[in-house]
Structure 1
Amino acid sequence: MKMHSKTLAVRITQAAKLHGSFRLRSGKVSDSYFDKYQFEAIPELLADIAEEMRRFIPDGTEVLAGLEMGGIPIVTMLSQVSGLHSAFIRKTPKEYGTCRYSEGANLASKRILLIEDVVSSGGAISDAVSMLRSDGIEVSQALCVIDRETGGYENLEAHGVELLSLFKQSEIDRHA
């Protein structure tokens, strides 16, 4: 890992690792919590994350598609630094107006890259891939800020999606 990336890992941890008493999704209580939205809320940190992520965008990518909700600020900034158009993927289609699940750039016949903040099981990406593929839009890669290394990579691989990540959780922990 380059020095700039090590510094970025430390900055992400400083912004997002909270201490206190937190009830986790599992119901357990923890004395620390990683609040991924915190690193997205600091403009200069988000810009630096996007600059580093730009290196991971595969050649030939035509549209960056951010997943609701955490992927939206990242895809917006990544679009800005890369010059690629962006789309915003909802968890479910809107029930009014256009009734679409995808807003922004047209995805039909485009080579897209899904963008997410943190991947645990890969479930949100898998759900988006299913929606997109049901409309004939092929997806083969996703890019996230942090792969928590809790099965997401393997689950996505089983669905034919390669997960690229700026950091693995073990790298974040090592530089915390």
Structure 2
Amino acid sequence: MANLASRLHARSHLTGSFTLRSGATTTEYFDKYLFESDPKLLDEIAATLAPLVPPGVDALAGLELGGIPIAVALSMRTGLPMRFVRKEAKPYGTCRLAEGGRIDAMRLLIVEDVVSTGGAILDAVRELRAGGAKVVEALCVIDRETGGVENLAAEGVRLRALYRMSELVA
């Protein structure tokens, strides 16, 4: 796993000035699209994430946009179906928040790329629960260690990360 961490860092770690979704600024950034666009690295990430999928999950819920490639790769590794979760329900066509099948009464595992405060996951969890889904866990590639674990726990969602930011920059 140390080799994967090293390759993930080499492929996607950037330095400079960056603004996060939460509005916070940082000088270190992991460009998720750089590791998600590398098919071999993405497949290895999915293979390493697969054992972290808890038993009893009915479907993976990949969050728009960065969680989608990871959820697809993880779905192919685990055989679990997935749902494509939008930031908000589209106002046309099916008008659904989640595409790919029903969510009511389903036990969903949120799949995300990088988590800072957990805001995107919390937004999705609230909407999915309102649609009848049961969401108690989330899985991500990188936890930036900036409050996401605690914020999600306050809403009854456990976050499991493949790597913490401190592990990747060490």
1:83 aligns with 2:79: yes
Which of 43, 47, 52 is equivalent to 1:51? 47
- 1:88-99 alignment runs, 5 A limit: 88-99=84-95
Deviations 1:54-93 (A, max 9, x none): 0100011110000001000000000001000010100011
Where does the alignment leave 5 or more consecutive residues of structure 1 unmatched? none
1:24 aligns with 2:14: no
CA 1:118–1:28: 2 relative to 1, 3 Å:
closer
What is the alpha-carbon distance in structure 2 between the residues aligned to residue 100 and residue 38 of structure 1? Answer: 29
CA 1:27–1:135: 2 relative to 1, 3 Å:
closer
What is the alpha-carbon distance in structure 2 between the residues aligned to residue 29 and residue 130 of structure 1? Answer: 28
Deviations 1:117-138 (A, max 9, x none): 0100000000001101112212
CA 1:28–1:139: 2 relative to 1, 3 Å:
closer
Partner of 2:30: 34
Q: What displacement does 1:29 show?
A: 7.8
Please tell me whether the aligned partners of residues 63 and 105 of structure 1 are also in contact (alpha carbons under 8 angstroms): no
Which of 130, 147, 165 is equivalent to 1:169? 165
CA 1:33–1:157: 2 relative to 1, 3 Å:
closer
What is the alpha-carbon distance in structure 2 between the residues aligned to residue 22 and residue 37 of structure 1? Answer: 18
Partner of 1:128: 124
Task: Report the TM-score, using the length of structure 2 for normalisation.
Answer: 0.93
Partner of 2:59: 63
Q: Across the two proteins, how many residue pairs are aligned to each other?
A: 168
Identity of aligned residues (%): 49
What is the alpha-carbon distance in structure 2 between the residues aligned to residue 111 and residue 159 of structure 1? Answer: 16
RMSD of the TM alignment (CA)? 1.6
Q: Which amino acid aligns with 1:142?
A: A
Indicate the SS of the match to 2:103: coil
Please tell me whether the aligned partners of residues 118 and 152 of structure 2 are also in contact (alpha carbons under 8 angstroms): yes
Task: Report the TM-score, using the length of structure 1 for normalisation.
Answer: 0.90
